[in-house]
Amino acid sequence: MYKKKLVLILFAAVSSVALLAQTAERAIGIRFGSGGEVSYQHPLGAANRIEFDLGLSPQSFGINGIYHWVNDLSDWTDGMSWYYGPGATVGFSNSTTLYPTSKLTLGIVGQVGLEYKFEFPLQLSIDYRPTFYLLRPNWVGLGSYGDVCLSARYRF
């Protein structure tokens, strides 16, 4: 009796995951702004997702994690949506002063953007991501920074 229930529960769980994987879209691509970032979006349900961005430059690298609430704008045009959400950033920066050092950067971010999903697996977006730094090299105290970026991602 227990084996039948276990098999039924496992079948339901695997079926649910398989169905979610077919309907949910992940995306990977590049986010362009004052620097470049490799970007990955993973769905967390019908209208939510998480985005991870890895930024690299000769003097620094960092990773951002942002939770998005996604709102459909298909009343205007099919494939259009807007998103917003909070997140965090962490990274390291090499100082270019007389005595080179590596320092931790840490901050809180927000993001708001507009995206368009084509019928083929391409997604384009424009967004604004203000960042409030709690720790940043060569800064005395707290600081903030924001950037408008364009993104191109492949949906799969």
Identify the CATH number of the domain in which residue 107 sits: 2.40.160.20
Structural domain contains residue 16: no
Instruction: Locate 137 and state its tokens.
Output: 């090299």
Cα distance between residue 119 and residue 79, in whole Å: 8
At residue 151 the predicted structure's pLDDT band, cuts being 50, 70 and 90, is: very high
Residue with tokens 């769980």: 13
Q: Of the ranges 7-21, 55-69, 93-107, 108-122, which is most confident? A: 108-122
By residue range, what is the domain housing residue 143?
26-155
59-75: average pLDDT = 91
The pLDDT score that the predictor gives to residue 24 is 60
At residue 136 the predicted structure's pLDDT band, cuts being 50, 70 and 90, is: confident
The pLDDT score that the predictor gives to residue 34 is 73
Cα distance between residue 54 and residue 16, in whole Å: 31
Structural domain contains residue 64: yes
Number of domains making up the chain? 1
The pLDDT score that the predictor gives to residue 104 is 87
The beta strands (E) that lie in 8-59 are given as 27-32, 36-43, 48-56
Structural domain contains residue 1: no
Structural domain contains residue 140: yes
Q: What is the mean pLDDT of the chain?
A: 82
From residue 97, alpha-carbon distances to 91, 93, 101, 136 in Å are 19, 12, 8, 15
Structural domain contains residue 4: no
Q: Note whether 112 and 83 are within 8 A (CB).
A: yes
The pLDDT score that the predictor gives to residue 14 is 45
